[in-house]
A and B are shown apart, each in its own frame.
Chain A
Amino acid sequence: MSEKPKRFKLEPKQLRIYGIGGAIIGIYLAHFLNAATGTNIFSFIGSLAAIGGVLWGANAIRRICSYGLGTGVPAMGMLALGMATVASLFGLNIAEQFGVGILGPIIALAYSLLFGYVIGILCNKVMHFNIPIMEEGMFDISGAGTLAILGWSITLSGTLSYNMIVKDVYSTGFLAIIFILGGMAIFHPFNANLGPDEKQDRTLVDGIMVAGLAMIALGICSLATLGLSAALVTIVVGFAVWYYDYIWYFRLAKEDAAAVVGTGLLPPSVQ
Chain B
Amino acid sequence: MITFDAQTIVYMLEIVVGSLLVSVGVHFVPVGGAPAAMAQATGIGTGTVTLAAGSGLTGLLACGLMMSVTDNIWPILASGAIGSMIMMDATMLTGDFIYSYAVGCPYASAKVNYDPITGFSQPPYVAPGTVGQGIPTVCFVTGTIGALLGGVGGAMIYFPCNMISHNPAQAAVFTIGIFFVHSVIPSWNIQGTIEGFHDPKFKKWPFAYKASLIAGILLAIMTVLIQPLGGA
**B173 within 8 A of partner (CB):** yes
* A89 nearest in chain B by CB position: B226
Residues of B contacting A224 in the complex (Cβ-Cβ under 8 angstroms): none
**B117 within 8 A of partner (CB):** no
How far does the alpha carbon of A93 sit from the alpha carbon of B179 in the complex, in Å? Answer: 21
Which of the four size classes fits the interface of chain B?
A: 35 or more
* A167 nearest in chain B by CB position: B232
Residues of A contacting B211 in the complex (Cβ-Cβ under 8 angstroms): 119, 122-123, 126-127
Are A97 and B222 in touch, CB under 8 angstroms? no
Task: Classify the interface of chain B: helix, strand, loop or mixed.
Answer: helix
Of the listed stretches B97-105, B137-145, B185-193, name the one at the interface; the rest are far from the partner chain. Answer: B185-193
Residues of B contacting A17 in the complex (Cβ-Cβ under 8 angstroms): none
Given A166-B170, A175-B173, does the pair A70, B222 have CB atoms closer than 8 Å? Answer: no
Q: Shortest CB–CB separation between residue B217 and chain A, in angstroms? A: 10
Residues of A contacting B227 in the complex (Cβ-Cβ under 8 angstroms): 93, 97
How many residues on the A side are at the interface (Cβ–Cβ under 8 A)? 43
Residues of A contacting B49 in the complex (Cβ-Cβ under 8 angstroms): 71-72, 74-75, 78
**A27 within 8 A of partner (CB):** no
Of the listed stretches A8-16, A44-52, A79-87, name the one at the interface; the rest are far from the partner chain. Answer: A79-87
Given A72-B47, A128-B207, does the pair A123, B225 have CB atoms closer than 8 Å? Answer: no
Which residues in window 145-191 of B have CB below 8 A to A?
A: 167, 169-170, 173-174, 176-181, 184-185, 187-191
Residues of B contacting A87 in the complex (Cβ-Cβ under 8 angstroms): 222
Are A127 and B174 in touch, CB under 8 angstroms? no
Residues of A contacting B69 in the complex (Cβ-Cβ under 8 angstroms): none
Are B188 and A127 in touch, CB under 8 angstroms? yes
**B2 within 8 A of partner (CB):** yes
* A178 nearest in chain B by CB position: B173
Are B181 and A79 in touch, CB under 8 angstroms? yes
Q: Shortest CB–CB separation between residue B174 and chain A, in angstroms? A: 6
Residues of B contacting A176 in the complex (Cβ-Cβ under 8 angstroms): 173
Residues of B contacting A163 in the complex (Cβ-Cβ under 8 angstroms): 229-232
Residues of B contacting A172 in the complex (Cβ-Cβ under 8 angstroms): 169
Given A128-B207, A170-B169, A171-B169, does the pair A75, B174 have CB atoms closer than 8 Å? Answer: no
How far does the alpha carbon of A128 sit from the alpha carbon of B188 in the complex, in Å? Answer: 10
Are A90 and B226 in touch, CB under 8 angstroms? yes
**B93 within 8 A of partner (CB):** no
Given A111-B222, A167-B232, does the pair A85, B184 have CB atoms closer than 8 Å? Answer: no
**B1 within 8 A of partner (CB):** yes
Given A81-B180, A86-B223, A90-B225, does the pair A70, B173 have CB atoms closer than 8 Å? Answer: no
Q: Shortest CB–CB separation between residue B65 and chain A, in angstroms? A: 16
Are A86 and B174 in touch, CB under 8 angstroms? yes
**A173 within 8 A of partner (CB):** yes
Q: Shortest CB–CB separation between residue B87 and chain A, in angstroms? A: 18
Given A123-B211, A176-B173, A179-B176, does the pair A69, B229 have CB atoms closer than 8 Å? Answer: no
**A192 within 8 A of partner (CB):** no
**A242 within 8 A of partner (CB):** no
How far does the alpha carbon of A69 sit from the alpha carbon of B173 in the complex, in Å? Answer: 26
Are B191 and A70 in touch, CB under 8 angstroms? yes
**B73 within 8 A of partner (CB):** no
Q: Shortest CB–CB separation between residue B223 and chain A, in angstroms? A: 6
Given A119-B215, A127-B188, does the pair A97, B2 have CB atoms closer than 8 Å? Answer: yes
Given A89-B170, A123-B211, does the pair A69, B188 have CB atoms closer than 8 Å? Answer: yes
Residues of A contacting B184 in the complex (Cβ-Cβ under 8 angstroms): 71, 75-76, 78-79, 82
Residues of B contacting A167 in the complex (Cβ-Cβ under 8 angstroms): 232
Q: A118 contacts which of B2, B214, B229 (Cβ < 8 Å)?
A: B214
Query: Could you list 18 A-B pairs, sorted by A, with CB under 8 Å?
Result: A70-B191, A70-B192, A71-B188, A75-B187, A78-B184, A82-B178, A82-B180, A83-B181, A85-B174, A86-B219, A89-B170, A93-B226, A93-B229, A118-B214, A119-B215, A127-B208, A163-B230, A170-B173
- In order of increasing CB-CB distance, the 10 nearest A-B pairs are A70-B191, A82-B180, A85-B177, A70-B192, A122-B211, A79-B184, A82-B177, A71-B192, A90-B222, A170-B170
